[in-house]
Chain A
Amino acid sequence: MKALAARRHHRLTPVVLVLLALVAIGGVYAAFATPSATADTATNQDIEEGKKLFIANCATCHGVNAEGTSTVPSLIGVGAAAVDFQVGTGRMPMQMTGPQAEAKPPQMNEEQTAQLAAYVASLGPGPAIPAAEAVDPELGDAANGAALFRTNCAMCHNAVGAGGALSEGKWAPDIRDTTPTHLYEAMQTGPQNMPVFNDDTLTPEEKRDIIAYIDYQKEGSAGGISLGSLGPVSEGVWVWVVGMGLLIGAAVWIGAKSS
């Protein structure tokens, strides 16, 4: 203690104290404020493995330190949720550049995806992968979700989530078969051309309501074949193909019978 006491008037003491205070506050903040899902599950081993995967698969575009370039986004601070969505739906690693990354069969397995997520999450704080309870459709209110969906999502994704077109070859994908976790992550991180719906815009409960509405659609169309749920255009195509097709066929048959 004597040594410590002797140095407490050292001119660097305030600097050291401020640093210690900052570390303490930061630690407390990290413990209470940031979502701690990754902190709970990710081990140093995962982060190391994730880094290796990152260097091998992602660094070509995003840079060895995930810092990005003028055309490729930096991944520092995007969080585990963004990685889980982009890699888990097969959008990343991207096969070729285009208007936007296409969903395809995932290239990484679940473990590798988790390792990549752990690595990217370690680069800076960002949204974590939501807990199972946060995305459980059973706990959501489909009616409220439907109302929220109409005002926030339907203009791009169509009234039931069948997808739609955006400008210049971009598109809002069909989200009817997207998993609840990926839906949540998409809302939270705003992948591709989608805006971010952070917790101020849509609270976690509201996100869950929307997930419940998408899940509710799985019960199917009450009236029969859904015809793609694309609205009047597909109905119009089918009335010509099935309706006029069958009836002209019948007319030809009736007309041919006598002559």
Chain B
Amino acid sequence: MTTPTPHSPLAGPADYLDQRTGIGNAVKGFARKVFPDHWSFMLGEIALYSFVVLLISGFFLTMFFVPSMALVTYHGPIDSMDGQLMSEAFASTLKISFEVRGGLLMRQVHHWAALLFMASIVTHMMRVFFTGAFRKPRELNWLVGFVLMILGLLAGFTGYSLPDDVLSGNGLRITDGVVKSIPILGSYLSYFIFGGEFPGEDIIPRLFALHVMVVPALILSLIALHLLFVVLHKHTQYPGGGRTDKNVVGFPLFPVYVAKAGGFFFVVFGVLALMGGVMSINNVWSYGPYDPSPVGAGAQPDWYMLFLEGSLRLMPGQPEFVIAGFTLSLNVLIPAVVIPGLLFSALALYPFIEARVTADKAEHHVLDRPRNVPTRTGIGVAIIVAFVILAVAGSNDLVATHFAMSLNAITWALRVLFFVGPVVAFIVTKRICLALQRKDRELVLHGHETGKIVRFANGEYIEVHKPVNEEERWLRVNYAAHRPLEIEPAEDARGVRRKGYKADRRWQKLSSFFYEDRVEPVRPSELHSADEHGELESGTQQPALER
């Protein structure tokens, strides 16, 4: 296949490898694979690289961490812990922080990387959602990404609980409460998870096994699948001149993206090392060893679980019923299971719902501009607003102290906002999108304002508009304004009622919700008539669309 080139010292080994594995073709294929260029395509990379940092720093931590709940008496450099009874897990966390060389740095890098991992996953997900990158053929990859996000939450949760400090123990206590709120199964599940009554002596070793083996292995394999899909589907690209659903405009992987992506890995690692080096995180020695009695003010989970905390904080306590001696804790079940369940299901299923109401079977490789799909953009913003409101509710005590407000007033305001906020956000976002589309339409039809006022001989005044150039026009007219579904009539020609009509009708209603309000892209004929109207600066520039 390849002929060895005498001037490269790598040629010999490369040829050796190629003759035995045939790797040359794969390398050639990969090296020439073209990727489009945009900063927002690097958000997923941040997640990937912070995961690599998590693996490296996590590996270091397992060298010293003792996943045991056996009690020991602490004697060490932390005066405020001297002589205290604590679990080996907590004692080894203190040892990592204060006696292992570089241990505190590694712990802090690991924790910051975990927070960054989730933050970048969420941001990446937003980019994919708002640009419609989840459309055919990428629906399955959206699901893979969604599962990765859930696994990220699980990895974060299991890791957060390992040091066995007061804060992590409080988190486990809430988990215990949530599990117990599940009707009938709850108490059995709780005993099953904790190996007896909370907190028991099993939970730390169990979480450790999940945290260092099961969850990372799953994340790693799903990342592989996620990337395989990217290669298989090819990367999406933003709309623009020359970019279609049948090509990819960009640069080859080698050398451009190898350099860029490789460099970006070091940037991510550098930022995490900087944060781990100068910003303290999770000072477990301040919280103290876990004991079920104390709860400190400002006891919150890491940011990605704040929505759950907030959901619990917002829920009024009344709906707890005792039925024939069994307690039904709707006050926990609804905020901790039902509401997150609904929000996450909506997120996971959205690509399939949109595909159904659009009746669009075509492949899409050119991304949508968010304004061109007003309902989707509105729904996305509404979901984000719902999560943000819940996260603020989870921090209501800090909001109260830092903005000098009443905790009770904040809680009530957020209870109302949780229902009103997403609806308002949806309406406002959708209206802004439609307005932007109208502005685009206006621009394509009439061009840019120039400020030049011309008076004709007959006394008529007009303002001269400068026509948009081809690039600008391309960007603004190349989108599909989908219409609501059209369905078969309820009865056929012989007046027999059609099976499945009711289901079709429901989908049609949902479709109308999506596509009733729309701004059609400018058609060539419209452009032509606008041109003849004589406002444009020069009649010599014929619309490109007609060619």
List the interface of chain A (C-beta within 8 A of B): 99, 142-143, 145-147, 150-151, 154-160, 162-169, 171-172, 213, 216-217, 221-227, 229-240, 242-244, 246-248, 250-252, 254-259
Contact = CB atoms under 8 A, between A and B. Distances in A.
Residue with the greatest number of chain B CB neighbours at <10 A, chosen from A99, A166, A168, A239 = A239
A213 B116 CA distance: 33
B39 A143 contact: no
A154 B298 CA distance: 9
13 contacts: A151-B294, A157-B297, A232-B301, A232-B302, A232-B306, A235-B281, A239-B119, A242-B279, A243-B116, A246-B271, A247-B116, A250-B267, A251-B264
A235 B104 CA distance: 16
B82 to A, nearest CB: 4
A229 B120 CA distance: 24
Interface string B102-124: 00100010011001100110010
Contact of A165 (B46, B304, B306, B401): B401
A236 B332 CA distance: 25
A251 B46 contact: yes
Contact of B294 (A154, A171, A236, A244): A154
Given A168-B406, A171-B401, A224 B277 contact: yes
Interface string B161-178: 000001100000000000
A162 B98 CA distance: 23
Given A151-B293, A171-B401, A247-B268, A142 B104 contact: no
B460 interface: no
A154 B296 contact: yes
Interface string B68-84: 00000000000111111
Nearest to B114: A239
Given A221-B280, A239-B119, A159 B303 contact: no
Contacts of A150: 166, 288, 291, 294, 296
B352 interface: no
B280 A227 contact: yes
Contacts of A251: 39-40, 42-43, 45-46, 264
B297 A172 contact: yes
A255 B288 CA distance: 45
The list of the 3 closest CB pairs from A to B, nearest first, reads A236-B303, A164-B297, A223-B280
A101 B397 CA distance: 19
B278 interface: yes
Nearest to A223: B280
A146 B405 contact: no
Specify the main secondary structure of chain B where it touches its partner: helix
Given A158-B296, A222-B280, A243-B272, A164 B83 contact: no
Contacts of B166: 150, 154, 159
A145 B286 CA distance: 12
Contacts of A257: 260
Given A146-B80, A246-B271, A231 B303 contact: no
A213 B80 contact: yes
Interface residues of B, number: 76
Contacts of A238: 275, 279
A157 to B, nearest CB: 6
Nearest to B397: A165
Contacts of A244: 46, 116, 119-120, 123
Residue with the greatest number of chain B CB neighbours at <10 A, chosen from A145, A244, A246, A256 = A244
A235 B283 contact: no
B37 interface: yes
A235 B82 contact: no
Given A159-B286, A216-B80, A248 B167 contact: no
B120 A247 contact: yes
B16 to A, nearest CB: 35
B251 interface: yes
A223 to B, nearest CB: 3
B400 interface: yes
Contact of B82 (A143, A158, A217): A143
Interface in B274-326: 275, 277-283, 285-288, 291, 293-304, 306
Given A155-B295, A216-B79, A233-B398, A169 B406 contact: yes
Given A154-B296, A171-B400, A232-B300, A258 B251 contact: yes
Contacts of B299: 231
Interface of B: 37-43, 45-46, 79-84, 97-98, 104, 108, 111-112, 115-116, 119-120, 123, 166-167, 251, 256, 260, 263-264, 267-268, 271-272, 275, 277-283, 285-288, 291, 293-304, 306, 394-398, 400-401, 404-409
B395 A233 contact: yes
Given A238-B279, A254-B263, 11 more contacts: A154-B166, A154-B294, A223-B280, A224-B108, A224-B279, A232-B167, A233-B300, A235-B281, A235-B302, A247-B120, A257-B260
A4 to B, nearest CB: 66
Contacts of A159: 166-167, 286-288, 296-298
A166 B167 contact: no
Given A143-B83, A155-B296, A236-B303, A167 B408 contact: yes
A250 B277 CA distance: 20
A145 B81 CA distance: 10
Contacts of A248: 39, 43, 123
Contacts of B84: 143, 146-147
Contacts of B297: 154-159, 163-165, 172
Contact of B288 (A147, A155, A157, A239): A147
Contacts of B272: 243
A230 to B, nearest CB: 5
Contacts of B112: 239, 243
A149 B251 CA distance: 60
A143 B74 CA distance: 11
Contacts of B301: 232
Residue with the greatest number of chain A CB neighbours at <10 A, chosen from B42, B298, B300 = B298
B277 to A, nearest CB: 7
B250 to A, nearest CB: 9
A231 B268 contact: no
Nearest to A147: B84
B104 A223 contact: yes
Contacts of B268: 247
Contacts of A167: 406-408
B168 to A, nearest CB: 10
Contacts of A235: 111, 115, 281-282, 302-303
